[in-house]
Structure 1
Amino acid sequence: MRPSAVPPLARGGFDRAEHRRAALGSAPDDGALVLLVHRDSAPVAGEDGSRPVLQWWAGADPALVNTDGEYAFLGVGPDGVDRWVLALREVPPTLDEQFSWGSLRVIGGDLDDADGDAFVTAVSLGRWLLDSAHCPRCGSVAAVQTGGWSRRCASCEQDLFPRTDPAVIVAVTDRAGARLLLGSHVAWGMGRFSCFAGFVEAGESLEAAVKRELLEEAGVHIEDMSYVGSQAWPYPRSLMVGFTAVTGTDSPVADGEEIIEVRWFDRAEIGAALAGDADVQLPGPSSIARTLIDQWYRSAQP
């Protein structure tokens, strides 16, 4: 896959060091670096207009003592230093006042590969740790183990792991590849368009989900499709699996429930929207939807 086609939060950057998790304690040692995460945000450094950089704390920093949250081992950074996340239940006022906080959805696409990889992993794992303290089978407390990557129920001894929900996301073109079909979701503001997406249902293949979603949401029949790439998207715990697809349906129809408008765009219109010179708003640079749109737009350029 060409680097430009790899979604921004899927480019890697650090070693997860899975083989070390079983031997880890419940908190980092003094030499590790720690990323604070609250919901989907983390402290960032950088001057106005410069590329954002995640703010990491030393494991021995007194500011982390008695902070209410859950630790988890992220892996080893490019510098060879262990990286952990501290998923906060609430942000202490002293920390909230010292730093700017950036949302993964907003700044993820502007981070370097290592920070982007760490951030999406931290948000995904941190949300699971805070939301899944009890066993779903019997309701007992489930203790954190393997460096934050699993829990074990104290009562029925069931091992629990972070959940990932697969979803497909599709950039649909006409047969000539000259137009891109996008839709506007009912929950969005007017003028915002994106690729079509939906969760994979139980017992369903990715390919079947692509065909079903496009027929349901836009009334189009898919004639061909190709896999592009995937990206974690912790809203709340998705793995977005990206495709391109072709349809011969010339007059799409929005379902009127989830999608309130569907529209064909030519390259000039998409180019203007990407440049910010149109009334149409496209997905942010952190998303795989933006990658799919940008890849289609650039495919006709020499």
Structure 2
Amino acid sequence: MLAFTGSRLDRADNLRADPDAIAGMMNWRARLLALDGLMPGLGDDGALAWSSLAEAPEGCELVFLGTDEGKPCFAAVPDRGDVAPRMANPALWQAMASLRPDDLAIYGGARSLVDWHARHRFCAQCGGKTVLAKGGWQRDCTNCGAQHFPRTDPVTIMLVEYEDRLLLGRGLGWGEGRFSALAGFVEPGESLEEGVAREVFEEAGVVVRDVRYVASQPWPFPSQLMIGCHATAEADAIALDETELAEARWFTRDEVRAALAGDGPFVAPPAQAIAHHLMTWWIEE
């Protein structure tokens, strides 16, 4: 199972559009997800910590996450959204590695949602103030009435193969020896296949064909859908765009296998990242 998938919550979409139903669930049975800003609160057992709605900051907006065994679950919107790069927060990665898969999925969904609310308090259409609606799965402008919905940005992340070797890249600012799959946002007016081909050519000057889908993963930093793909290169010559990547290289199957085991010529992506899953899939295939 990929990280951030497999939430045990029932999102209860039938309740979101009923303000009376949402208000009726805000009682002593309701659970409040413990968050320190956007960091997960952990209990003594290492699981996600929960409290009652009485612990919510005064005057905060509350987002309805869904129900867990019939108990309504909420999260408080923080004062501000995420502004720090995720790689610069070792405590976050440590928490992600320690959480159970279903807890990590709940945290990821809640983080994406409350972060979006914190960064969208004003209307993109007229600049007016927006207010939470539909249990937190919408914001409405109090001035022009425009409706805004939590966004998910599609990102292609791809394994590019040529004669049993993989093309991997090292991002700008990454530590020496740390490589991962190439990736990039899907742009307006293009398919996933076109996005894969464009990104690989832009970053490494490599032309690809036979793009196919492998797997996807929600990635809450702040809110992407990582769409894992595989493509075949027509040649192995690299023309690096140094504004996109610090380095790009081809690695053999044995080198990738060794890196995933922690003893290879490069540092593999962490187990929580879909790039790690894609490389494992390629080795096992």
- Report the TM range for the smaller structure's normalisation: 0.7 to 0.9
The worse-fitting range, judged by mean Cα deviation, of 149-158 and 226-235 is 226-235
Aligned residue in 2 for 1:98: none
| Residues 10, 230 of structure 1: 8 Å contact kept | no
Q: Percent identity?
A: 36
Aligned residue in 1 for 2:50: 56
Shift in Å, 1:185: 0.9
Paired residues for 1:190-229 under 5 Å: 190-229=176-215
| Residues 86, 126 of structure 1: 8 Å contact kept | yes
Indicate which of 113, 121, 125 corresponds to 1:125.
113
Residue type of the partner of 1:25?
A
Aligned residue in 1 for 2:73: 83
| Residues 260, 276 of structure 2: 8 Å contact kept | no
Residue type of the partner of 2:270?
G
| Residues 109, 287 of structure 1: 8 Å contact kept | no
> Normalising by structure 2, what TM-score?
0.87
Return 5+ residue gaps in structure 1 as ranges. Answer: 1-5, 91-100
| Secondary structure, counterpart of 1:291 in structure 2 | helix
Aligned residue in 2 for 1:11: 6
Residue type of the partner of 1:55?
A
Shift in Å, 1:181: 1.4
> Normalising by structure 1, what TM-score?
0.82
| Residues 153, 224 of structure 2: 8 Å contact kept | yes
Shift in Å, 1:192: 0.9
Aligned residue in 2 for 1:151: 139
Paired residues for 1:84-103 under 5 Å: 84-89=74-79, 103=92
Take 1:217 and 1:117, find their aligned partners in 2: how far apart are those partners? 31
| Secondary structure, counterpart of 1:215 in structure 2 | helix
Take 2:209 and 2:101, find their aligned partners in 1: how far apart are those partners? 35
Q: CA RMSD in A?
A: 2.3
Shift in Å, 1:279: 5.4
Aligned residue in 2 for 1:37: 35
Shift in Å, 1:297: 2.1
Indicate which of 155, 167, 179 corresponds to 1:181.
167
| Secondary structure, counterpart of 1:88 in structure 2 | coil
Take 2:201 and 2:125, find their aligned partners in 1: how far apart are those partners? 37
Residues 81-123 of structure 1 deviation map (CA, whole Å, 9 limit, x = unaligned): 2221123338xxxxxxxxxx952x5544653332122111111
Take 1:80 and 1:26, find their aligned partners in 2: how far apart are those partners? 13
The worse-fitting range, judged by mean Cα deviation, of 242-251 and 152-161 is 242-251
The worse-fitting range, judged by mean Cα deviation, of 201-210 and 106-115 is 106-115
| Residues 13, 113 of structure 1: 8 Å contact kept | no
Aligned residue in 1 for 2:15: 20
Take 1:273 and 1:231, find their aligned partners in 2: how far apart are those partners? 22
| Residues 25, 147 of structure 1: 8 Å contact kept | no
Take 1:253 and 1:27, find their aligned partners in 2: how far apart are those partners? 57
Distance 1:87 1:282, change over 3 A: farther
Take 2:247 and 2:257, find their aligned partners in 1: how far apart are those partners? 20
Aligned residue in 2 for 1:250: 236
Residues 113-170 of structure 1 deviation map (CA, whole Å, 9 limit, x = unaligned): 3212211111110111111111111111111111111111111111111122111110
Aligned residue in 1 for 2:84: none
Residue type of the partner of 2:271?
P
Residue type of the partner of 1:20?
L
Residues 177-210 of structure 1 deviation map (CA, whole Å, 9 limit, x = unaligned): x322110111212111011110111111111000
| Residues 66, 72 of structure 2: 8 Å contact kept | yes
Residue type of the partner of 2:260?
L
Aligned residue in 1 for 2:250: 264
Take 2:44 and 2:251, find their aligned partners in 1: how far apart are those partners? 36
| Secondary structure, counterpart of 1:25 in structure 2 | helix
Return 5+ residue gaps in structure 2 as ranges. Answer: 81-89
| Secondary structure, counterpart of 1:8 in structure 2 | coil
Indicate which of 240, 248, 273 corresponds to 2:259.
273
